[in-house]
Amino acid sequence: MRPPRRPSSAAGSWPALLSFLGVLALWELAARSQAVSPVFFPPPSAILGRMGGQGTLERVWLPCLATLGHALSGLAVGGSLGIATGVLCGACRPADAVLTPFINATYALPKIAAVPLVLALTGSGDLLVVSLVAAACAYGTAVMTRHGMDQLDPTLTLAAVNLGARRGQVLRHVVLPGLTPYLIAGLRLALLESFRMAVVIEALLAVRGLGRQMWISGSWFDMESYFAVIIVLAVLGYASVRGFDVAAAALAPWARRYELEDIR
């Protein structure tokens, strides 16, 4: 007997896909009939044509890779930092007393505020983007992890100790799995944050990537390329979150899912 599996939510994405195609169709019509300015809103067919056409490699796909690299390496660094900080704060009172007020005080500051300082340290380039993405990702995961540490069931720790678990085994077999739902929630938010942050910094400081490309195309009124970048970004965001959810469900098959629909 296998644990019953929920039907994959991919089935639920058909209505979304259909309505998305519907919007594209309306847009196409509006642009072709000149109801909206085709200069600012080129028809989707033209955008698609641009994505396959000359110079797309330099204008869309290489920047796409650069942004992906910025976002994911920032997420890896920032996420690990955030998780480590959260665990440390949850497990050690003095660390909590020092770090938590600091985190709360700086959380509300927009990370853009740190650009001049980080710029001085890293120079303008990939490292700058990755550092700022990492900083943005670290906050959410740290706060989520810290919160998760408070939600751990102390009886489970007692049970593990009673069954002969040593300190390291308690960490590995009780604390880590108990935290997993919080780590998943924190990393999922950080994943989306990482793309937003990467694009903003690329645009702001003209570092290679979709952000800079979007900015350049926009200011040259090359709207086909501009929308091509936006579409690639949307697909990137959607696909990475889907992939994340599939991985999370495979890693934590025990996690219960409550849906409001289930409540009658």
Question: Among residues 34 and 162, whose Cβ is nearest to another protein?
Answer: 162
Q: How far is the CB of 262 from another protein (least distance, A)?
A: 13
- Please choose, out of 38-46, 52-60, 173-181, 200-208, the segment that lies near another protein by the rule CB under 8 A: 173-181
Q: How far is the CB of 263 from another protein (least distance, A)?
A: 16
- Please choose, out of 28-36, 74-82, 94-102, 170-178, the segment that lies near another protein by the rule CB under 8 A: 170-178
Question: Among residues 96 and 222, whose Cβ is nearest to another protein?
Answer: 96
Q: How far is the CB of 171 from another protein (least distance, A)?
A: 12
Q: Which residues 99-118 are close enough to bind another protein by CB under 8 A?
A: none
CA distance 226 to 40: 10
Measured distance between the N- and C-terminal CA atoms of the chain, rounded to whole angstroms: 28
Buried/exposed 89-121: b ≥16 CB within 10 Å, e otherwise: bbeeeeeeeebbeebeeeeeeebeebbeebeee
CA distance 212 to 124: 13
165 binds another protein (CB under 8 A): yes
258 binds another protein (CB under 8 A): no
166 binds another protein (CB under 8 A): yes
Determine how many CB atoms are found less than 10 A away from the CB of residue 151: 11
The burial of 156, by beta-carbon neighbours within 10 Å (0-12 exposed, 13-18 middle, 19 or more buried), is given as middle
Question: Among residues 256 and 264, whose Cβ is nearest to another protein?
Answer: 256
- Please choose, out of 32-40, 73-81, 177-185, 239-247, the segment that lies near another protein by the rule CB under 8 A: 177-185
Q: Nearest to residue 143, comparing CAs of 85, 219, 92?
A: 85
The residue from 94, 162, 258, 262 that contacts another protein (CB under 8 A) is 162
Q: Nearest to residue 43, comparing CAs of 25, 21, 55?
A: 25
178 binds another protein (CB under 8 A): yes
Angle (nearest 5°) at CA 214 between 211 and 215: 90
Cα Rg of the chain, angstroms: 23
153 binds another protein (CB under 8 A): yes
Question: Among residues 110 and 164, whose Cβ is nearest to another protein?
Answer: 164
Q: Which residues 197-256 are close enough to bind another protein by CB under 8 A?
A: 252-254, 256
168 binds another protein (CB under 8 A): no
Both tokens of 246, joined, read 């599939």
CA distance 66 to 55: 16
Binding site residues, another protein, CB under 8 A:
1-4, 153, 155-156, 158-166, 169, 173-174, 177-178, 180, 252-254, 256
